[in-house]
Homo-oligomer: A and B are copies of this chain.
C-alpha cells in the first residue's frame, strides 16, 4: 500500500498549495513564495509534525519540476529573440554575472567556506528570476514599457549564460578544481554539443512535430513532445551534462516549431503541476534552524544580491548606451534570485560537492529579495530623479560624453560596409557550424571505435579493420560539411580579394586578387585537414590502410559530389525555413 501513502502526500501538498496560492494571490504576493511556505509548513523541520511520508518520490517529482520548468523556459526562448535583444542585453547580463559570481565567491571565502561552496554561491547569485520579475511587472502593469523589454532581453541572455554556468559547474565538480584549460575544454565541448544539437534538432524536430500535429490528436502530439523532451534529456545525461541543460535545449529547439502555441498549451498544465511540487519540495527541505544559525551570511548575501545586482546591471545597461533612468530601472528590476539558484543549489547537492547549508541560504535570500522586488521597481523612478539632481557635475558630464561617443560610433559605419560585414559574419557562421558538424562526426567516430565497440563482442576480429571502417565512414559522412565549409571559405576568399583590392586597377589588381583567393583556399584545405586529423588521430589506421581508405573515399566523394552538395543545400534550406517561418497563432 505504498502508493496510498504517496497519494496521501500528493493530496496534502496539492491541498495546502491550493489554499496558499489563493491566499498569496489575495495578499498580492508571488505564488512561488506561497508554495515554499506550504512546503515549510508540511515539512519535517517545523511543528506540529511532518505531514509528508514518501520524501523520496516527492523528490523525484520535484526533479520532474526542474525538467518542465527549464523546458518551458526553453520554449519561451528563441534564436530570433536572442538576435533581437541586441547588445544591451549581452553587455548587461555579462557584467552582472561576472560581478555576482565574483561577489558570491568573495562572500563565501570571507566566511571561511570551502572553495566549492563559494563557487556555487557565486553561481547562485548570478542569475535573476524570470518567474518573479514577470509576476512583479505584470502586477505593476509595466510589462510593455521599454525598460521591461530590456529586462526580458537580459533574462534571455542570462538563461544562456546560466546554462553555460551549470555545465561549467558540473565540470568543476567532476575535476574538483578550476583550471583555465579545463574550463576552455568544457566550454568548447559544450559549444560543439549545443551547435550540433541545435542544428540537427531544428532541422528534424519541427518537421516531426508538424507531421504529428497534422493528425490533429492532442494526445499524440503531447506524448511525442514528452518523448522528445525526455529522450533528449536522457542523451544529455549520458553525455554527463545536467538534465536542466537538456530540457532547456530541447525546449529552445521546439520553440522553432510552427506549432509552438499548441505545444505551450499542452505543456503548461504539466509544468504548473510539477513546478508547484518542485517549489513545495524546496520548502520541505528548508530547515529554519539552519537559516537562524547562518543568519549573518544570509543577511550579507541578501545585501549583496540587492546592491550588487543594482550596481552591476545598471552599470552594464549604461555601458551599452542607455540613459541613467532606464539603466537604474533595469538594474532594480533584476535584483533578486529565484528558480535558477534553486536548480544550481540542487545540482551541488546531487553532485555531492556542496555543504547542506547552501540550499537554505539560497532559499532564504530568494524569499527576501522576491519580497523586495516590487518595491525596488517602484522606487527606481524617484531614486533616479534624486540621483540626477545630486550627482556631482563631473560624473554627469562623463556620462554625457560617453553617450555622445557611443552615438557617434553606432552611426559611423556606412551602409555598404554594414552589408559587407553582415555577409562576412554570415559566411563565417556557416563555416563554423559546418566545422562543428565535422568535429562532432570525428569525435563520435572516436568514441564509437574506442569506448563503445571495444567493450562488445564483434564479428570482426581485427580491431584494425573495424577502426578503419569507422574512420572511413565518418570521413565520408563529414564530406558534405567539409565541402560546404570549403565552398563558403572559397566565397570568403573571393570576397576578401575583391574587398582588399578596392583601390587597385589593372592586371596588378587581378593578380593580387587571384593570390589572395588561392591563399585562402590553401589555408582552408590545410586547416580542415588538420582539424580532421587532430580529432580522429586516435583511430587513424596504419599508413597502407589509410591510403586505401582515402582512395575509396576520394572516389566516392567525387562520384557523389553533386548529391552531397544537394543534400547539404536542402538541409540548409530546411534550417533557414524553420528559423524564419511564421508561427501558428492560437
Closest CB in chain B relative to A220 CB, distance in Å:
5
A1 CA to B240 CA in the complex, in Å? 13
Interface segment, one of A18-26, A468-476, A546-554, A555-563: A18-26
A310-367 contacts to B, CB under 8 A, are 350
Closest CB in chain B relative to A267 CB, distance in Å:
7
CB-defined contacts of A200 to chain B, threshold 8 Å? none
Contact A63 B234 (CB under 8 A): no
A227 beta carbon closer than 8 Å to chain B: yes
Q: Residue of B at shortest CB range from A272?
A: B219
Contact A237 B4 (CB under 8 A): yes
| Set B7, B64, B217, B229: member contacting A63, Cβ < 8 A | B7
CB-defined contacts of A67 to chain B, threshold 8 Å? 7
Closest CB in chain B relative to A345 CB, distance in Å:
15
A215 beta carbon closer than 8 Å to chain B: yes
A1-19 contacts to B, CB under 8 A, are 1-4, 6-8, 10-12, 14-19
**Contact digits for A35-76, partner B, Cβ 8 Å, 1 yes 0 no:** 000000000000000000000110110011001000000000
Contact B212 A2 (CB under 8 A): no
| Set B212, B215, B272: member contacting A222, Cβ < 8 A | B272
Contact A233 B269 (CB under 8 A): no
CB-defined contacts of A350 to chain B, threshold 8 Å? 1, 3
Q: Residue of B at shortest CB range from A35?
A: B223
Given A12-B234, A243-B7, A269-B266, A22:B212 Cβ within 8 A: yes
A176 beta carbon closer than 8 Å to chain B: no
Closest CB in chain B relative to A66 CB, distance in Å:
9
Contact B230 A15 (CB under 8 A): yes
Given A14-B230, A57-B60, A60-B57, A21:B220 Cβ within 8 A: yes
A276 beta carbon closer than 8 Å to chain B: yes
| Set B11, B226, B231, B234: member contacting A234, Cβ < 8 A | B11
- A–B complex contacts, Cβ < 8 Å, 7 sampled: A11-B231, A14-B227, A14-B229, A57-B60, A219-B272, A226-B273, A270-B273
Instruction: Give A residues with C-beta under 8 Å from B.
Output: 1-4, 6-8, 10-12, 14-19, 21-22, 25, 31, 56-57, 59-60, 63-64, 67, 212, 215, 217-220, 222-224, 226-231, 233-234, 237, 243, 265-270, 272-273, 276, 350
6 nearest A-B residue pairs (beta carbon):
A18-B227, A11-B230, A11-B234, A14-B227, A15-B231, A3-B63
